[in-house]
């Protein structure tokens, strides 16, 4: 519901305090742009960084040459690590 602050709404966009909240999954049939109105990829973040701040979490990528997926993380020394994970 656009313009609601009701916690029961499946998707909330609060116009007075620009926030987006959901109480479940949101499915988008096209591309999503954050900071752009014309996304050039399925998820396009413009004008800023993407942050993954939970330790142990990372970016999951599918291998370019096969069916395997890997979580990419970085340690405090800046070393990039990969671990095989189930593909989402």
pLDDT in tens, the chain (88 residues): 344 455 554 666 666 776 777 777 777 788 888 888 888 988 888 988 889 999 889 999 999 999 999 999 999 999 999 999 999 8
Contact 71, 60 (CB under 8 A): yes
Instruction: State the pLDDT at residue 6.
Output: 52
pLDDT value, residue 2: 41
- Give the Cα separation of 13 and 24 in Å (integer): 14
How much is the pLDDT for 84? 97
Q: How far is CA 30 from CA 1, 3, 17, 40, 58, in A?
A: 19, 23, 26, 11, 24
Report field, pTM of the whole predicted structure over 0.75: no
Q: How far is CA 83 from the centre of its chain?
A: 19
Sign of the four-CA dihedral 4, 43, 48, 61? positive
């Amino acid at each position: 519901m656009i313009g609601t602050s009701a916690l029961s709404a499946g998707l909330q966009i609060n116009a007075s305090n620009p926030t987006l909240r959901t109480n479940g999954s949101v499915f988008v049939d096209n591309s999503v742009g954050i900071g752009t109105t014309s996304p050039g990829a399925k998820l396009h973040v413009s004008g800023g960084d993407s942050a993954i701040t939970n330790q142990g979490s990372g970016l999951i990528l599918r291998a370019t040459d096969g069916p395997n997926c890997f979580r990419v993380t970085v340690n405090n020394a800046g070393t990039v690590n990969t671990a095989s994970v189930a593909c989402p």
